Amino acid sequence: MKVSVGVSNRHVHLTEETYKELFDGIDLEIVKELTQPGQFASNLKLTIKTEKSSIENVRVLGPLRKYNQVEISKTDAFKLGLNPPVRDSGDLEGSSPITLEYNGKEVYLDKGCIIPTRHIHINPDEVEKFGLTGVKEVSVKVGGEKGGIFNHVRIKSANMSFFELHIDTDDANSFMIKQGDIVEIINEN
Amino acid sequence: MKVSVGVSNRHVHLTEETYKELFDGIDLEIVKELTQPGQFASNLKLTIKTEKSSIENVRVLGPLRKYNQVEISKTDAFKLGLNPPVRDSGDLEGSSPITLEYNGKEVYLDKGCIIPTRHIHINPDEVEKFGLTGVKEVSVKVGGEKGGIFNHVRIKSANMSFFELHIDTDDANSFMIKQGDIVEIINEN
């Protein structure tokens, strides 16, 4: 079972309310379609900040969601002085507080910052075809001089999903892989 | 077989000639002993730079060596616009060129920048005790929510070595482990 790699850099999802508060008057436009249908990199970038530090030019992904969510790597977390939990999208209870800033306007989130769980987007037909029915997580094997195995890779099945492994920049850089590389799913269940 | 983790941040080893050229008149002093006997973090820091970018405050480790060597992570390599090979210490043919700078003085190295191979320091008695005689590399298993397995971990046996796994900051951040954590060696040979 082979799957292609998608590397997620740090990014932000916004509610309509937060979007209006920060970017009032600036349209949310599609700059680049992402591999998952309907998802896109927008024209908007903001700064994420804590008392310790900040990171500029963090991309807002669209479309708008029902929750605000800031997805960062452990490397980013050290820079910001945060210790965010490893979570699936939308599972935000107890996640780290963080401040969003654009052009002098700030929105404080009392939760919403996470390190995303490694996961594979897949559709129900592929779940069945690959014998993954009922499987919640798998491992992924990567070749190369700094290769190895990622454990705890969540299976995220949804209609219309594009079959792809999503990892963060720390994972990609540790194993020296990049967007579009092909790796191997290991089903230990 | 358990081993403790040592995380190597980016650092530089210098020859006596390069040290004198950059830091003439400033003593090389021990700031902190490292876990490997005789090795130390010195009082000296410099800037590593390329045409694309630079990274400040890179620590010089002592003692001085017979070669100049700059050890960085893949994350650093992206920032600097370099594509260094994954190498053992001292194996520098074909490694990346880089410039060292301190207080306006510069030394251009036509080679010397590498991403260090994952490795385990061990002494010959422990090699025998752990059944690793003749084994060149092993794997290492890491638990936790972002755990997994590092392949291609080199066995570096030397008298007086302190038994420890050395990984870079990308490896540590990807797997969410830190200095002093305990992980498991897997001998697949």
Residues of B in contact with A80 (CB under 8 A): none
Contact (Cβ atoms closer than 8 angstroms) between residue B18 and residue B107 = yes
Residue numbers in A near B79 (CB within 8 A): none
Q: CA-to-CA distance for A48 and A25, rounded, in angstroms?
A: 21
Span A29-48, pLDDT tens digits: 999 999 999 999 999 999 99
Q: Do B148 and A169 touch (CB under 8 A)?
A: no
Residues ≥6 apart with Cβ < 8 Å to B52: B79, B80, B81
Partner residues linked to A149 by β-bridges = A141, B149
Q: Which of B21, B37, B19 minimizes the C-alpha distance to B29?
A: B19
- pLDDT score for A107: 98
pLDDT at A108: 98
Q: Kindly state the DSSP code that residue A180 receives in the 8-state scheme.
A: T
| pLDDT, position B47 | 98
Determine whether the interchain pair A86/B176 forms a contact, defined as Cβ–Cβ distance below 8 Å: yes
What is the C-alpha to C-alpha distance for residues B103 and A135, in angstroms, rounded to an integer?
57
Closest residue in A to B145 (Cα–Cα): A152
Query: Which pLDDT band, with edges at 50, 70 and 90, does A25 fall under?
Result: confident
Give contacts of B151 with chain A, Cβ < 8 Å.
147-149
Which residues in chain A have their CB less than 8 angstroms from residue B117's CB?
145
The helix (H) or strand (E) run that includes residue A6 is strand A2-8
Contact B74 A174 (CB under 8 A): yes
Residues of A with CB under 8 A from a CB of B: 73-75, 78, 86, 115, 117-118, 139, 145-152, 168-171, 173-176
Could you tell me which residues come within 8 angstroms of residue B58 by beta carbon, excluding any fewer than 6 positions away?
Answer: B10, B11, B12, B45, B46, B47, B48, B70
The Cα–Cα gap between A13 and A63 comes to: 8
Please list, residue by residue across A158-178, b when 16 or more beta carbons sit within 10 angstroms of its beta carbon and e when fewer do: eeebebbbbbbbbbbbbbbbe
Peptide bond into B63 cis (omega under 30): yes
Instruction: Check B118 against A146: CB less than 8 A apart.
Output: yes
What per-residue confidence (pLDDT) applies to B78? 97
Report CA-CA distances (Å) from A104 to A21, A96, B131. Answer: 11, 22, 62
Whether residue B86 and residue A145 make contact (CB cut-off 8 A), yes or no, is yes
- Three-state DSSP at A135 gives coil
Residues 6+ apart with CB under 8 A from A168: A7, A8, A71, A73, A115, A116, A118, B174
Average pLDDT, chain A: 97
- Give the pLDDT of chain B (189 residues) as one tens digit per residue: 999 999 999 999 999 999 999 999 899 999 999 999 999 999 999 999 999 999 999 999 999 999 999 999 999 999 999 999 999 999 999 999 999 999 999 999 999 999 999 999 999 999 999 999 999 999 999 999 999 999 999 999 999 999 999 999 999 999 999 999 999 999 987
Both structure tokens of B120:
């385990």
Asked whether A132 and A122 are in contact (CB, 8 A), the reply is yes
Distance between CA atoms of B154 and B142, rounded to whole angstroms? 16
- pLDDT class of A137 with cuts at 50, 70, 90: very high
| Alpha-carbon gap: B165 to the closest alpha carbon of chain A (Å) | 14
Question: Would you call A117 and B145 a contact, using CB atoms and an 8 Å cutoff?
Answer: yes
pTM of the model: 0.95
Contact B86 A169 (CB under 8 A): no
Element housing B173 (H / E): helix B169-175
* Residues of B within an 8 Å Cβ radius of A: 73-75, 78, 86, 115, 117-118, 139, 145-152, 168-171, 173-176
**How many CB pairs (< 8 A) connect A and B?**
71
Residues in chain A closer than 8 A to B175 (CB atoms): 174
pLDDT of A99: 98
Beta-carbon contacts of A29 under 8 Å, excluding residues fewer than 6 positions away, are A42, A43
What's the confidence (pLDDT) of residue A144? 96
For A81-131, the pLDDT digits (tens) are 999 999 999 999 999 999 999 999 999 999 999 999 999 999 999 999 999
pLDDT of residue B25: 87
Residues on chain A touching B148 (C-beta within 8 angstroms): 139, 148-152
